[in-house]
A and B are shown apart, each in its own frame.
Chain A
Amino acid sequence: MNTGLINNVVCFEGVSVRFGAVSALDNLNLELRGGELSALLGPNGAGKTTALRLLLGLTRPSQGTVRVLGGDPRRSEARRGVGAMLQDISLPPNLSVLELLRLYAALYPAPLSVNRALELSGLSDQATSRASRLSGGQQRRLSFALAVIGNPELLLLDEPTVAMDVQGRAAFWHGIAELRSGGCTVLLTTHLLEEVDRAADRVIVLSRGVIVADAAPGSVRARVGLSRVRFSSRLDAAHWHTITLPGDVLEGGPAGQFSIRTRQPEALVRAALDLDPALSDLEVSRASLEDAFLSLTGPDQAPTGALA
């Protein structure tokens, strides 16, 4: 691998973006190495789209510097090696899939063939359809085809699989795998943890403009392996803290209801029944992806860096 050159395909240095009083990104420091597939996760408004727009030169940082493939993303030349799929795009209704792909192929110095782009996006059967006749999922696929036809070194995808059906998703991930075997670096945003768990080398979780976790998805999976133990008790939170293990998170609900996220539900339940034999409403469930996610990005949770 051509490490020296490909290293740090993307580089954010102390980047903040403010829109009036809203701070969309706050002192972001992030580097993406060549060939990595990174997933940018976070709830709505976390700053994911803003981060991608910075990399495309569509948004200017209020502070700090952004480099893409060693250049300033605000210059058109920097985009020769970048393909992107934006969230809110509408393609011109009166052009066909083929016409759009031919246009895009002419805008890049060393494009893929139109057929290859159709194949990668699973759109071969729709080549002659007008863009407006495509279904929502097919339009996303076309958007993907337009992102890859320039044979990019860096692929930026904002919520790429939204509106895609199961087959669309499969075709999409298949296309991504093929591009990656050619060394393409991918940064995508999503709120579907499950989906990136398999494919990503790295998961970066954003919350209100700040990175709260940056780790291999394995760590996220570990986090997902949590259980949640719920019960009601007359004892107060101080008592319950005495039986929690390191890493467990205790939440006190109203009217003596408690909830503990834990890695060892069996041990915890045993200890809980010992501590308060009058305990009631006991319920043990697997923590959902949502739980893992919320534990990182929720408003009551200080970013502990548990995954970092």
Chain B
Amino acid sequence: MTTLASPFTSALRPFVALARTELLRLLRNRALLVPALLLPIIFFSLWGLPNARYTLGGVNAGRYMLVSYAAYSLISTALFGFGVAVAAERASGWWRQLQITPAPPALIFGAKITASLVMGLLSVLALCLFAGLVGHIWLGAADLGGVLLRLLPGMVPFALLGLTLGLLAPPDAAGGVANLVALPMLFASGIFVPLDTAPDFIRSLAPYLPAYHFGQLGWTAIGAKPAGAEWTHWVWLAGYAAVFLLTSLWAARRSEMRR
């Protein structure tokens, strides 16, 4: 019988085990995996490849839109692979099954976020491979590294937004609600189609949306004309992350009250 905690007090072992398990679950969930891998590739083929000979924001439009759809893929991974998945677990009881272990909720969330990051990374790599092999558009290691270095940490506010929606919406409606929020935001931020072609009111709305700043971080990483200093994008994303952290904590408390 152990009466005292063993010398093992580090959170590393439970964290690694949780993250590994969550990643396995994401990779085995075909309903999630197939769209996450295929949709960015399909969108890129429809809008990116045909425009590859033009210039956008001062760089090759093919490369620009490759970054756009990488951003799209990471945002949807954060929203759906994380937020909506948490909602489904809340309905299924798996979340409660983890809640009764000694793993603190922050550790469980951290592991889920890490698994989503890895999943996002995989979908971006698949997209880049497709763009290179099929469209002969290679980002190059340095540019890809720069894009990922900015976009992976930039996923945090979207993961927290997904979590809020997942906790607030009825479990089986969470996916639909997240789409309802994500799709207009992606259009209005220049991720789906470049803002140059968007109506004026959308162009004036865009700088207030998190996906716009997320996109800016990605595009400037491959040398596109910046729209403001880089730090302003980080401040916007951090601000949104803080807001969505508060809303998700509030939503978590609310769902706990309802059992």
- A: residues with CB less than 8 A from B are 2, 5, 56, 58-59, 76-77, 79-82, 84, 86, 88-92, 94-95, 99, 102-104, 106-110, 146, 150-151, 153, 182-184
- Please judge, given known A-B contacts A56-B100, A86-B97, A91-B94, whether A5 and B28 are in contact too, CB under 8 Å: no
- Please judge, given known A-B contacts A81-B2, A95-B24, whether A108 and B101 are in contact too, CB under 8 Å: yes
Contact call A99/B102, Cβ cutoff below 8 A: no
Those of B27-41 within 8 Å (CB) of chain A: 28-29
User: Which residues of chain A have C-beta atoms less than 8 A from B24's C-beta?
Assistant: 94-95, 99
Q: Give 7 nearest A-B pairs by CB, closest first.
A: A106-B17, A94-B28, A76-B104, A79-B102, A80-B102, A110-B2, A90-B93
User: Which residues of chain B have C-beta atoms less than 8 A from A86's C-beta?
Assistant: 93, 96-97, 100
B16 interfacial by beta-carbon distance below 8 Å: yes
Contact call A90/B102, Cβ cutoff below 8 A: no
Q: Which residue of A77, A91, A102, A103 has the most chain B CB atoms within 10 A of its CB atom? A: A103
Give 17 A-B pairs besides A86-B96, A86-B97 with Cβ atoms closer than 8 angstroms: A2-B3, A76-B105, A84-B100, A86-B93, A86-B100, A88-B93, A92-B94, A94-B24, A99-B21, A103-B18, A104-B101, A107-B18, A109-B8, A110-B2, A146-B97, A183-B1, A184-B1
B198 to chain A, nearest CB (A): 40
B237 to chain A, nearest CB (A): 29
Contact call B17/A109, Cβ cutoff below 8 A: no
- B: residues with CB less than 8 A from A are 1-3, 5-6, 8-9, 13-14, 16-18, 20-21, 24-25, 28-29, 89, 92-94, 96-97, 99-105, 259
User: Which residues of chain A have C-beta atoms less than 8 A from B21's C-beta?
Assistant: 95, 99, 103
15 A-B residue pairings within 8 Å (CB atoms): A76-B102, A80-B102, A86-B93, A89-B96, A90-B92, A94-B29, A95-B28, A99-B21, A102-B17, A103-B21, A107-B14, A107-B102, A110-B2, A110-B6, A184-B1
How far apart are the CA atoms of A184 and B2 in the complex, in Å? 11
How far apart are the CA atoms of A91 and B29 in the complex, in Å? 14
How far apart are the CA atoms of A78 and B94 in the complex, in Å? 20
How far apart are the CA atoms of A151 and B6 in the complex, in Å? 13
- Please judge, given known A-B contacts A90-B94, A95-B21, A99-B24, whether A5 and B3 are in contact too, CB under 8 Å: yes
Indicate which residue in B6, B28, B96 contacts A109 across the interface (CB closer than 8 Å): B6
- Please judge, given known A-B contacts A106-B13, A107-B14, whether A153 and B1 are in contact too, CB under 8 Å: yes
User: Which residues of chain A have C-beta atoms less than 8 A from B94's C-beta?
Assistant: 89-92
User: Which residues of chain A have C-beta atoms less than 8 A from B25's C-beta?
Assistant: 92, 94-95
User: Which residues of chain A have C-beta atoms less than 8 A from B93's C-beta?
Assistant: 86, 88-90
How far apart are the CA atoms of A225 and B20 in the complex, in Å? 55
A132 to chain B, nearest CB (A): 11
User: Which residues of chain A have C-beta atoms less than 8 A from B100's C-beta?
Assistant: 56, 58, 79, 82, 84, 86
